[in-house]
Structure 1
Amino acid sequence: MTIDPRLHRHIAEHPYPLLFATISGAHLYGFPSPDSDFDLRGVHLLPLRDIVGMRETEETIERSGLHDGLEIDLVTHDARKFFGLMLKKNGYVLEQLLSPLVVYTTPEHQELRALADSCVTRHHAHHYLGFAETQWKLFQKADPPHVKPLLYVYRVLLTGIHLMRTGEVEANLVKLNELVRLPQIPDLIAQKTGGPELGKLETADLSFHEAEYERLRRELQSAFEQSRLPEAPVAAEALHELLVRLRLKEANIQRVPAT
């Protein structure tokens, strides 16, 4: 995917220095509609003076709207908050960090990417099981059903299964389906990419998709139980050292070696 220059211009207007900004959402997952917005996700670095005083800080920046003709949804977290999320069973932040759709990067972004494997645990399966359940309920609520939440169900479960078996974070449904070859996926993606973001499902065998949902949930649960991934992340100290270095660098302070 070629990165639209207008996204670069939008990122350049961010109020704080960025470590990275990537594209998440439907573009990352492999099924953007023509009217899909661009989900920009990233990490910013608050000035030292803003985090050592009494004032409340903007740990999270959220901006949505039309910019240069593009619908953009921007969310960035301060480094401390994002690093903390990396140490939880939050697959979403790892997908953002490892997204190949990079709008802005730094050497520290590459350091973070290298630490991602040390944050993955078998308990990330719970993130994907919970996310899939939420999307399945959204799919069931709509009458007639929408294709978007159904695709999210398949994407989330297949991402979780793949992660448990390989330790690799893969968020793109097209690539995931190259491995498992579910015959219903290409048609669902074609409906989503060829229509509006909230397009109705043209034809739906609801009992079939429900059976597939339950089957893949069982498969993810089984993959979790058999996974050899660690029980807990091991990147805490490395993330701490990186954050300290970033703060001191931003403040132009030389670190005193420990005695």
Structure 2
Amino acid sequence: MTEVRYEILQQLGDIEREENVRILYACESGSRAWGFPSKDSDYDVRFIYVRPVEWYLSIFSGRDVIERPISDMLDINGWDLKKALNLFRKSNPPLLEWLQSPIPYFENRTVASRIREISPLSFSPKSCMFHYLNMARGNYREYLQGEQVRIKKYFYVLRPLLACEWIDTKGTMPPMEFELLVKTYMAKGSELRAIVEELLARKKAGDELDYEPQLQVINAYIESKLAYFERAAAAHKAPESLIDEKLDGLFRQVLKEVWG
């Protein structure tokens, strides 16, 4: 990981120089941050950056995403701070996950911590539950029907369903770590948890986990949870946003902090 981390930081430095931006925060997303990487999983690096003040004063709208070509090892892309803050006020789950990633690469400004401090004011259980519910439903429909299924795709259905469970019971953004969600919501000693933990051990050990017979215990669990969260998500009320002025102030403060 040390060599990979060095390469990631080097590439982020290259992006700063080539794009004339300042990166405020960078972290790992995807399967490594969720806790179920394969041996050959790439690194999904996500970052938030800010451009010089003049860029935001133009009458033209510039591109607010920076992406680098995906290699065998690295998938690196980031969002402009203005884009990130607009998504934050809408309680965007991917962004909220970045901000609590268990694998940060660096945080050389205070912006990420300031966003975390005000996140309870913008968090929407309704929109986040629907995000995870749609993710689970889509992956279940596409990969886990029939006698033979893409067995590794169970993780990409179970994790969003467990995230829905966390939001429904705790009313906060769920942690990224899959194992923590399993331990919280799957009964110790149950057949379901035993099967899930065996799959997780196999994936971490590097098993291919390609097409295998459908796991009926997990499928039954998924179908019952999909039906439940359809009703539960709809019952949540969308909160009123209380942070617009705070975000304007934060954006201006960051511009001053970074560019003087």
* TM-based fold match above 0.5: yes
Indicate the residue corresponding to 2:251 in structure 1.
243
* 1:50 and 2:55 are equivalent in the alignment: yes
Tell me the SS of whatever aligns to 2:73: strand
Cα separation, 2, equivalents of 1:33 and 1:144: 21
**What amino acid is aligned across from residue 129 of structure 1 in structure 2?**
L
For structure 1, which segment, 141-150 or 16-25, has the greater mean C-alpha deviation from structure 2 after superposition?
141-150
**What amino acid is aligned across from residue 243 of structure 2 in structure 1?**
A
* 1:156 and 2:156 are equivalent in the alignment: no
Tell me the SS of whatever aligns to 1:183: helix
1:168-247 to 2 correspondences below 5 Å: 168-181=173-186, 182-195=193-206, 199-205=209-215, 207-221=216-230, 223-224=232-233, 231-247=239-255
For structure 1, which segment, 72-81 or 46-55, has the greater mean C-alpha deviation from structure 2 after superposition?
46-55
Residues matched between the structures, number: 246
Residue 226 of structure 1: CA displacement?
A: 6.6
Indicate the residue corresponding to 2:97 in structure 1.
95
Distance 1:34 1:142, change over 3 A: farther
| TM-score normalised according to structure 1 size | 0.84
Question: Once the two structures are superposed, what CA deviation does each residue of 1:8-41 show, in whole Å capped at 9, x if it has no partner?
Answer: 2222222321110010100111100011011111
**What amino acid is aligned across from residue 15 of structure 2 in structure 1?**
H
Distance 1:9 1:217, change over 3 A: same
Could you tell me whether the CA contact under 8 Å between 1:94 and 1:169 is conserved in 2? no
* Unaligned runs of at least 5 residues, structure 2: 187-192
| TM-score normalised according to structure 2 size | 0.83
Could you tell me whether the CA contact under 8 Å between 2:96 and 2:173 is conserved in 1? no
Could you tell me whether the CA contact under 8 Å between 2:147 and 2:213 is conserved in 1? no
* 1:39 and 2:44 are equivalent in the alignment: yes
Cα separation, 2, equivalents of 1:143 and 1:204: 5
* 1:165 and 2:169 are equivalent in the alignment: yes
Tell me the SS of whatever aligns to 2:245: helix
Cα separation, 1, equivalents of 2:49 and 2:146: 37
1:17-36 to 2 correspondences below 5 Å: 17-36=22-41
**Larger helix fraction of residues:** 2
Distance 1:17 1:242, change over 3 A: same
Cα separation, 2, equivalents of 1:75 and 1:102: 15
Q: Give % identity.
A: 22
Distance 1:92 1:20, change over 3 A: same
Residue 119 of structure 1: CA displacement?
A: 2.1
Tell me the SS of whatever aligns to 1:65: coil
* Unaligned runs of at least 5 residues, structure 1: 253-259
Indicate the residue corresponding to 2:151 in structure 1.
147
Tell me the SS of whatever aligns to 1:82: helix
Cα RMSD of the aligned pairs, angstroms, is 2.6
